[in-house]
Amino acid sequence: MANKGKQNRFAPKLKIKKGDKVVVIAGAYRDRSKVREVLEVLPTENRAIVDGVNIRKKHSKPTQTSPGGINEITAPIHISNLMVVDPKSGEPTRVGRTVGENGKTVRFAKKSGEIIK
Here the CATH number for the domain that contains residue 31 is 2.30.30.30
Q: Determine the pLDDT at residue 95.
A: 94
Residues 96 and 49 in one domain: no
Residues 64 and 39 in one domain: yes
Residues 117 and 73 in one domain: no
Residues 79 and 90 in one domain: no
Instruction: Classify 60 as helix, strand or coil.
Output: strand
CB 40 within 8 A of CB 19: no
Question: Which residues have CB under 8 Å from 94's CB, separation 6+?
Answer: 15, 83, 84, 109, 110, 111
Confidence of residue 107 (pLDDT cuts 50, 70, 90): very high
Residues 30 and 16 in one domain: yes
Chain centroid to CA 72 = 19
Question: How far apart are the C-alpha atoms of 4 and 2, rounded to whole Å?
Answer: 6
Residues 75 and 100 in one domain: no
Question: How far apart are the C-alpha atoms of 115 and 50, rounded to whole Å?
Answer: 22
Residues 18 and 43 in one domain: yes
Whole-model pTM: value is: 0.79
pLDDT digits (tens, 9 = 90+) for 10-40: 767 889 999 999 999 998 777 788 899 999 9
CB 59 within 8 A of CB 2: no
Q: Domain range holding 106?
A: 86-117
| Domain total in the chain | 2
Residues 3 and 49 in one domain: yes
